[in-house]
Structure 1
Amino acid sequence: MRLVIAFVALGLVVTAGAAYAQEADDSVVASLVEHARDLAYAHATPESARCLGPGLLEAVDWLVERRPEDGRLLVLAAELHAGLGYALYHEDGPERAKAHYRLAWDFACRALDARGPFSEAARTGGKDLADELKGRWDVDAPALYWAAFSLGARLDLEREAVETLGDLPSVRQILARVRELAPRFEYGSPELLLAHDHAMRGRGMGGSVEEMKALLEEALATSENRYLPARVAYARDYAVAVQDRGLFEETLREVLSTPPEVLPERAFANRVAQQQARRLLDRAGDYFPEDD
């Protein structure tokens, strides 16, 4: 019921926007969208999000078109496109997921460019990006994170393409700055992304199992083990890297036995994590071929 209320609330935002899109106070519009988002994060299921999520994204896009300089709304649009794109399509519809990641990147860059030449520095990377990131403050952490998430998630789906390798250092640079600006951001999510980067690279390309484990443990501690995506990442990335099938299966079964509401404000993310845990268990033989 509350999920329905979330989308009704967003509908009211759009209706109000149609009447006074230019006159309404930015903080009021963004606050209503945030409230709808928070209700969805707390009460949505993967199934309901598949039905209602596209409508939410279209509504937010509609608002952004009419308020193109509202930085707070741009960051919300980046968050929703990146987060829902990952939850709904990363595994089952990669091309659709990449479309959402590109939109999220664009929205995040627009928010950041209002305070400095972020997108230009991100294109060149290296010292230019490092210098640009030094001028960022904690208020920029959400936009920086969703920029890194959207770029990193897209590259994760394109990791076989050689040209993607040049963008990965930029993702690491941005996430490192987010960790400096907001050490406990989004239940350790920057640490999870960096750990996954180590897993994808492997030792042959500079990945470190030790650093991966430390990052995952930091993320787990941030949420006191209540953010289930961190536990899924521990199984998928670390347990697979060290080829410990027992740890892999035990960790994922713990995910499935934990009530999603253990972290009420992120119950949706926990439900998505449980869905991922089931898939990983079903495919355990692919990750541990020598055990079969």
Structure 2
Amino acid sequence: MGVRCKFTLLCFLWVFSIGCSMTRMAANQTTAIIIKAAPAFDRENDVELAEHAILSNLKMLEGLLEVIPDNPDLLLITSSSFSSYAFGFVEQKIEIADYNYQYEEKEKLVERAVDFYGRGKNYGLRLLSKSQKNFPELLEADLKDLSLALQQFRKKDVPALFWTAYAWGSLILLQQDSPARIAELPVVNMMMQRVLALDEKYFFGGPHLFYGGYFGIRPKTLGGDPEKAREHILRAIEITKGKYLMAKFLFAKFYAAPAQDKEIFRSTLEEILAAPDDLFPEQRLANNLAKQNAARWLKRIDEIFF
């Protein structure tokens, strides 16, 4: 290769490296903007607008991860966004399809929710592997080894642990007819127990809300326990001083309904519907979703209680 060719090649590589660096810089800057803008979604009053905005944002987040795959902030917001969308919007549509006997539509929606929760889980595991490189491999190991590994996580790791376990647990609970999935529950339980020990108040008492569903949605033959669901959700309501209405809806869904306590069910849902719109401005979207859910479940009261 001649001197001129070598020089040309070096110039090309130099320009290419600058271009890549600028692309990564732009992706990092975009991620920072998204994180700063995230509270605007939580404060949104229009549920339909929020749904479309969040959905369009999901693919952009994955696109950014193609450029900066190891950005911890981006991995966290992508994990939590996929899981939050699945819970807030897809699971609501699953319930509506089931109520209207649209079983084919329900099956499609369940597949979609499982896919979204699966992505949330995988992005969360990628983030956790930044704290412990071999952590994903330990999930297949002996539970004693996993327990030791989980003890190494600290409070700074709570967001990654929570969203990974939440997404994983949610997709399992949507596939309770799968023995292979049910066999994964002990791992998820250990992860969420670590979150509970490190910071029970994270995400509005999120670990307690998780256990509300964990114990409330399963039949007793598979470890369901309405009383434990009650204890956990009441603790979350206490942590948020009753302002986070989704916790109250989950109390009606995961405790009052399984326990067949019609009066608590009715009074809890009516309390949600009567709550002022500005009860918790920072979580207006979640509270409006809770109101939608409460109104729908209250209409089904004679079907749920017999």
| TM-score, with structure 1 as normaliser | 0.86
Q: Measure how far apart 1:38 and its partner are.
A: 1.1
1:90 partnered with 2:118: no
Question: Are 2:167 and 1:150 equivalent residues in the alignment?
Answer: yes
The Cα shift of 1:125 comes to 6.1
After superposition, residues 170-189 of structure 1 pair within 5 angstroms as 170-189=187-206
Normalised by the size of structure 2, how large is the TM-score? 0.83
Where does residue 135 of structure 1 map in the other structure?
A: 152
* 1:119 shift after superposition: 1.7
Secondary structure of 2:92's counterpart equals coil
Q: Using the alignment, how far apart are the partners of 1:260 and 1:186 within structure 2?
A: 20
CA contact (8 A) 2:76 2:124 kept: yes
SS in 2 for 1:241: coil
| Preserved contact between residue 27 and residue 67 of structure 2 (Cα < 8 Å) | no
Residue 267 of structure 1 deviates from its aligned partner by 1.1
How far apart, in 1, do the equivalents of 2:165 and 2:278 lie?
Answer: 28
Q: Is the 8 A contact 1:260 1:268 kept in 2?
A: no
In structure 1, C-alpha distance between the alignment counterparts of 2:120 and 2:37, rounded to whole Å:
18
- Trace 1:66-215 onto structure 2 (pairs within 5 A): 66-92=67-93, 93-116=109-132, 117-124=134-141, 126-215=143-232
Q: How many residues align?
A: 272
> Comparing 254-263 with 269-278, which one deviates more in the overlay?
254-263
Q: Give 2:192's aligned amino acid.
A: L
Q: Distance in 1 between matches of 2:290 and 2:148?
A: 36
Q: 2 CA distance for matches of 1:200 and 1:181? A: 25
1:13 corresponding residue in structure 2: none
Checking the alignment, whether the CA contact within 8 Å between 1:145 and 1:178 is kept in structure 2 is yes
Whether contact under 8 Å (2:204, 2:239) holds in the other structure is yes
Query: Deviation per CA, 1:10-49, whole angstroms, max 9, x where unpaired?
Result: xxxxxxx9993323595x5443221221111111532112
Mean alpha-carbon deviation: is it higher for 225-234 or for 33-42? 33-42
- The counterpart of 1:234, out of the listed 251, 271, 282, is 251
| More displaced stretch, 76-85 vs 35-44 | 35-44
Task: Write the distance in 1 (CA, Å) between the matches of 2:157 and 2:73.
Answer: 10
Distance 1:104 1:126, change over 3 A: same
Change (3 A) 1:177 1:255: same
State the distance in 2 between where 1:206 and 1:98 align. 22
The aligned residue for residue 62 of structure 2 is 61
Does the 8 Å CA contact 1:21/1:67 hold for their aligned counterparts?
Answer: no
CA distance in 2, matches of 1:71, 1:155: 25
Q: Please, what is the CA RMSD of the aligned residues?
A: 2.1
Query: Deviation at 1:225?
Result: 0.4
Question: How far, CA to CA, are the matches of 2:142 and 2:270 in structure 1?
Answer: 41
Q: CA 1:119 to 1:36, structure 2 compared with 1: closer, same or farther past 3 Å? A: same
- The runs of at least 4 aligned residues of structure 1 exceeding 4 Å deviation read none
For residues 50-108 of structure 1, the C-alpha deviation after alignment (integer angstroms, 9 at most, x for no partner) is 32222111111111111101112101110111111221212322222221111111110
Corresponding residue number in structure 2 for 1:253: 270
Distance change >3 Å, CA 180–CA 29, structure 1 → 2 = farther
Once the two structures are superposed, residues 116-135 of structure 1 have per-residue CA deviations (whole angstroms, 9 ceiling, x without a partner) of 12222223462232111111
CA gap 1:20/1:236 in 2 versus in 1, 3 angstroms: same
- Counterparts of 1:97 and 1:125 in 2: how far apart (Å)? 29
Counterpart amino acid of residue 131 in structure 1: L
Gaps of 5+ in 2: 1-18, 94-108
Pairing partner for 1:21 from 9, 20, 23: 23
Compute the displacement of 1:221 (Å).
0.5
Q: Distance in 1 between matches of 2:177 and 2:92?
A: 16
In structure 2, give the amino acid aligned to 1:22: R
Q: Which residue of 1 aligns with 2:15?
A: none
Rounded to whole Å, the distance in 1 between the matches of 2:257 and 2:276 is 25
